[in-house]
Amino acid sequence: MQVRNQIENRQRWMAVLARTKCDDLELAWNKLSIGLHYEWLRRPETGLVLVRGRAGGTGSPFNLGEVTMTRCALRLADGTTGFAFVLGRDQRRAELAAVFDALLQRADDVATESRGLVAQFEAIQASRRELKSRKAASTKVDFFAMARGTSPE
């Protein structure tokens, strides 16, 4: 059960990091102010990924198109590996996301502080989604059809 929770947490953290803007990751990195050495397992590289969709979210899957994605992998000096897959071409963003992925797996004070930063990113993203959802809901139009009938007169 503990391993499952660790996997779910890591998936959640990686999703949050993939959606976080580069400027926010850079600020968080500077806030940590640690001298970190790592080696590249896979330098940041950009390519295309096929995106699939479903009509109405439940229909048959179809190929929607391709999007640009950057990926990388690195290993910290202590052997912890970090991976990142981010949409777009920002190689620095992928690098920082991979560094944070590696830091989050450790069991020290830096990992605890990193988890706090990722929790802040998650809260910011949730509030942005909520705001976007409220804006969309305010423009909702309910259409209805009136039944034609004969006049009682």
pLDDT digits over 56-80, tens only?
778 889 999 999 999 999 999 989 9
Question: Cα-atom radius of gyration of the chain, to the nearest Å?
Answer: 22
Determine, yes or no, domain membership for 7: yes
Determine, yes or no, domain membership for 152: no
Q: What is the domain count for the chain? A: 1
Q: Kindly report the number of other CB atoms within 10 A of residue 70's CB atom.
A: 21
Determine, yes or no, domain membership for 37: yes
Range of the domain at 93: 2-118
Predicted local confidence at residue 1, as pLDDT: 67
- In this prediction, the residues of the chain whose per-residue pLDDT falls under 70 are 1, 144-153
Determine, yes or no, domain membership for 100: yes
Determine, yes or no, domain membership for 61: yes
Predicted local confidence at residue 148, as pLDDT: 65
Determine, yes or no, domain membership for 52: yes
Q: What is the mean pLDDT of the chain?
A: 88
| C-alpha to C-alpha distance for 43 and 90, rounded to whole angstroms | 12
Residue keyed to tokens 């706090």: 116
Predicted local confidence at residue 150, as pLDDT: 64
Determine, yes or no, domain membership for 129: no
| C-alpha to C-alpha distance for 16 and 114, rounded to whole angstroms | 12
Predicted local confidence at residue 138, as pLDDT: 83
Tokens representing 78 are: 């202590």
Determine, yes or no, domain membership for 98: yes
Predicted local confidence at residue 83, as pLDDT: 95
Backbone angles phi, psi at 121, to 5 degrees: -60, -40
Predicted local confidence at residue 151, as pLDDT: 60
